[in-house]
Structure 1
Amino acid sequence: MELFRPCADHSNGTAVIIAPGGGFVGLSYEAEGTAVARKLTKYGVTALVLKYRTIRSPDDAMHMPSVHMKEMETIMARAKSGIPAEVPLFAGEPHAVEDGRRALTLVHQHAAEWGINPRRVGFIGFSSGAFLAADLAIGDKAARPAFVGLFYGGLRMPVPIDAPPAFIAAAADDPYLPNDGTILYTAWRKVKASAELHLYEHGGHGFGLIARRDTSDHWFDEFIWWMQARSLLKQ
């Protein structure tokens, strides 16, 4: 993990672990990782970007293993059907989940050193990172983050009644997971777990912090407002 700390007199004790996207093949480390971390520190949040393990593949940004392409086709078909269904893990995802759990443990172990409230450690993810965040949110209760942010990804069923609060953001014109956001939100609310959904008309897949002159440009502000409403930015 790469650690980004706010000024000592500005820290509020909340920490967010960030899992960039990349299809479990690579990591969009800057656009969906360090850039987001730097913005979070401006609000007093300690941010940590997670370099989780990915599928072994050639050093080529365009490379995508055939097994992974078949998985994506299955995920897209289920998402387009609009029918909630439990989605199998991607190849490489189990290792990423292990790394996510280790990251949460490490942050808790260093909470006092880094000025973090151990009850305010969240986990957000983008695309494949959102699947990782969702895995942690619905997994072993002892290893769950205090809150999660699921950005254009994370379709998982079922959701436990004590799932952590979720901030969900996606675009309606996402070519890969067009209904993922609404299915996630419905699954959380079905068990009366706290969730907030922002579904933008435009943004596609992987809008991140890229300015597109669409409403999806404002997801970060809305995530900050959500954190403020949950008293996560108070000293």
Structure 2
Amino acid sequence: MIQKSGVKLFAYLTILYFTFFGDVSLYAQEVLPVWPNAVPNSIQNKEYKEVLTYDDANEVRGVSKVTYPSLTVYLADGDKSSGASVVICPGGGYSHLAIYKEGYKVAKWFNSIGVSAFVLKYRLPDDLIMKDKSIGPLQDAQEAIRLVRRNAVKWKLDPNKIGIMGFSAGGHLASTLSTLYSEKVYDSEPLSARPDFSILIYPVISMEDGITHKGSRKNLLGENVSADLLDKYSNERQIDINTPPAFLIHAVDDKAVPVENSINYLLRLKENNVPAELHIYESGGHGFGLGREGTNTYWPESLKHWLINNNMAK
């Protein structure tokens, strides 16, 4: 009964959110709970409440303390749709989600090139609401892919053209899904959670000292981490011949997440004969998203051509 009430409350709050914050509702078709029933690996905590941040125009820009993960649906217009789709994981160091800049805004761009998009508001790892915080985000990402694949016919999507995209720590989640998609982290139906391609934007890839983003590692794995856990979530080490093709973006002057994260991922993909493309820019720093000035400004155009060449966009 408690869980059903929580789901009803989630649906009610979703309606309120889209009633008052119309910048998203003008474009998104619907918001779906990732877990319509019980959320796996969860601990009930009434004091743990979702927090939204706003800009000067009172539009939502970020979210933290996510308890009920969701997918915000942006379907491409039928006559423009390529049938491809992508689940987008915003970044934020596994402490918050930059859900507008690295979520809703990006989804609208995908629609402009005929690709449907789904913004994943995933749970951020926290011992206060999770029995094992290291697997919480991966559970949400796996189920998000399964949810899209399950509804592919309904949404007129190709179930073999479903990708994952991630920015910064969201890039770590996207690359974790790309390498650990078959990891049994919850009781699931026999439907593949493997993304067909991945798009990694200034991603955290490794948990290794020297190149990892320490905040992301601490939030996901904690302070005292075993060597086995560091190895498991250093995603460049988990690549094999079945890892999805990847498109990567990074700036040399990124002070938060060193460019070596993307370089090492590319090299391991190459070793395993997995198709990949990496664009390294002279400037841009970290978190440039869409529209910041610098040599990185036109990365969406490069991504568009990559998607077209791989038959993912018209």
TM-score (norm 1): 0.81
Partner of residue 94 from structure 2, selected from 24, 47, 53: 24
Offset at 1:143? Answer: 1.9
Aligned residue number for residue 278 of structure 2: 197
Helix, strand or coil for the counterpart of 1:131? helix
Which of 300, 307, 310 is residue 220 of structure 1 equivalent to?
A: 300
One-letter code aligned to 1:30: Y
Deviation at 1:6, TM superposition (A): 1.6
Task: Provide the rounded CA distance (Å) in 1 between the counterparts of 2:107 and 2:118.
Answer: 7
Select 1:132's aligned residue among 154, 173, 178: 173
Q: Which runs of 5+ in 2 are unaligned?
A: 1-70, 183-191, 206-234
Deviates more, 1:215-224 or 1:121-130: 215-224
Deviation of 1:8 after TM superposition, in Å, equals 1.7
Larger RCO: Structure 1 or Structure 2 (Cα < 8 Å, ≥ 6 residues apart)? Answer: 1
Deviating 4+ runs (over 3 angstroms): none
Matched, 1:123 2:192: no
Structure 1 residue 24: Cα displacement: 0.9
Q: Give 2:66's aligned residue.
A: none
Segments of structure 1 that go 5 or more residues without pairing to the other structure are 58-90
Residue 117 of structure 1 aligns to which amino acid in structure 2? Answer: D
* Amino acid corresponding to residue 194 of structure 1 in structure 2: P
Q: Aligned partners of 2:147, 2:157: CA distance in 1, in Å?
A: 12
TM-score (norm 2): 0.61
Say whether residues 1:232 and 2:302 are aligned partners. Answer: no
Within the alignment, does 1:206 sit opposite 2:206 as a pair? no
Note the alpha carbon deviations across 1:163-189, whole angstroms, 9 max, x for none.
110001111111122221211111111
The CA distance in 2 between the partners of 1:93 and 1:201, in whole Å, is: 33
Which residue, 86, 101, 104 being the options, matches 2:145?
104
Q: Which one has the largest radius of gyration?
A: 2
**1:33–1:93: structure 2 CA closer, same or farther, 3 Å change rule?**
farther
> Which residue number corresponds to residue 174 of structure 1?
254
Q: Give the Cα–Cα distance (whole angstroms) in 2 for the partners of residues 129 and 140 of structure 1.
A: 15
**Matching residue of 1:68:** none
- The answer (yes or no) to whether the contact 1:133–1:154 under 8 Å persists in 2 is no
Match of residue 144, structure 1, among 173, 191, 194: 194
In 2, distance between residues paired with 1:154 and 1:164? Answer: 17
What is the aligned length?
201
RMSD: 1.7
CA distance in 2, matches of 1:98, 1:55: 11
Match of residue 114, structure 2, among 24, 33, 44: 44
Q: Can you list the C-alpha shifts for 1:187-220, whole angstroms capped at 9, x where unaligned?
A: 11111111100011111111111322x1211111
The CA deviation at 1:93 is 4.4
Q: Is the 8 A contact 2:75 2:111 kept in 1?
A: yes
Q: Percent same amino acid at aligned positions?
A: 34
